[in-house]
């Protein structure tokens, strides 16, 4: 499905310009009112990374404040944890299979012994889950982020003398190549990952803030390149959502002017969009 009115009404985002960026809750409200059920599943798949963090936080402290960008509330987690504890094969549309596998594994004394870092284990399950999406843009986005994280982790481990194999997560060609070529200068990734030289340069920057911004710029450019010919498609909408995420990383989320502009756009859009 094409979203002509929605995309036409979205503000033009620039990575260093914040005055027209919609608040994430406002954006999500509009997307949930406009996207088809099938396309909402793709959006929710992207949002699951916040659910993962919320799950980890919830298991540490049930009273913790959860990130609202996740799809599940504290009440949801209360119910799902109870369900996983009481039923052998729990069935609930809120419960993703990788979440169940994670919970069952960390609560199994024998299986849990093989887990070095719980967060990394959950990330691996999530990346593998996302890689099975039927939408190629989403699959490619998951893989791109996985590769960035693993290459930077491998470079950092090499620099500080840590075990590289325990620091990288997921399963794909880049991961396999790193694991089998730990001593090679570039892990034999030349020609396999286009942004390798850029990542090496980023990893050498001693300024952590500049490094994070450079990584986000790399992701921003990827999103632009991979939606250049997708004018009104769900891929274009998802890329807009992801770019908003990147901008909000560097803001205090009090963009009153941006919210006011976007709310007006929403008002105008609702006159034209058949919900």
Q: Where are the domains of the chain?
A: 48-130
- What is the Rg, in whole angstroms, of the alpha carbon atoms belonging to the chain? 20
Distance of CA 85 to the CA centre of its chain: 28
The per-residue pLDDT for 208 is: 83
Helical (H) or strand (E) element with 148: helix 136-160
Which tokens belong to 6?
């929605």
| Angstrom distance (rounded) from CA 179 to CA 200 | 17
| pLDDT surpassing 70 at residue 253 | no
Average of pLDDT values for 159-178? 91
User: Per-residue pLDDT for 220 more than 70?
Assistant: yes
Q: Label residue 235 by pLDDT band (50, 70, 90).
A: very high
Banded model confidence at residue 225, pLDDT cuts 50, 70, 90: very high
Please indicate whether residue 15 or residue 106 has the higher confidence score (pLDDT): 106
Mean pLDDT over all residues of the chain? 89
pLDDT class for 275, splitting at 50, 70, 90? very low
Give me the pLDDT at residue 238, please.
Answer: 97
**pLDDT class for 261, splitting at 50, 70, 90?**
very low
pLDDT one-digit tens code per residue, 59-92: 999 999 999 999 999 999 999 999 999 999 999 9
Q: Do residues 152 and 196 make contact, with C-beta atoms less than 8 angstroms apart?
A: no
């Amino acid at each position: 499905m094409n979203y002509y009115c929605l995309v036409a009404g979205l503000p033009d985002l620039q990575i260093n310009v914040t005055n027209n960026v919609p608040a994430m809750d406002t954006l999500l409200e509009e997307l949930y009112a406009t996207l088809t059920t099938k396309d909402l599943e793709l959006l929710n798949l992207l949002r699951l990374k916040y659910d993962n963090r919320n799950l980890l936080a919830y298991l540490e402290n049930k009273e913790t404040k959860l990130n609202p960008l996740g799809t599940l509330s504290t009440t949801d987690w209360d119910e799902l944890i109870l369900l996983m504890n009481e039923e052998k094969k729990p069935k609930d549309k809120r419960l993703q299979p990788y979440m169940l596998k994670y919970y069952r594994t960390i609560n199994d004394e024998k299986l849990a012994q093989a887990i070095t870092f719980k967060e990394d284990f959950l990330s691996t399950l999530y990346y593998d889950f996302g890689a099975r999406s039927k939408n190629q843009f989403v699959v490619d986005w998951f893989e791109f982020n996985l590769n960035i994280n693993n290459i930077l982790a491998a470079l950092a481990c090499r620099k500080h003398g840590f075990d590289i194999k325990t620091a990288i997560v997921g399963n794909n060609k880049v991961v396999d190549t790193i694991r089998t070529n730990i001593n090679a200068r570039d892990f034999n990734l030349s020609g396999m990952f286009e942004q390798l030289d850029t990542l090496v340069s980023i990893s050498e920057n001693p300024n952590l803030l500049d490094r994070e911004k450079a990584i986000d710029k790399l992701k921003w450019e990827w999103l632009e390149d991979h939606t250049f010919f997708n004018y009104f498609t769900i891929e274009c909408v998802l890329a807009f959502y992801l770019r908003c995420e990147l901008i909000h990383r560097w803001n205090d989320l009090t963009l009153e002017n941006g919210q006011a502009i976007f709310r007006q756009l929403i008002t105008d859009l609702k006159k034209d969009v058949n919900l």
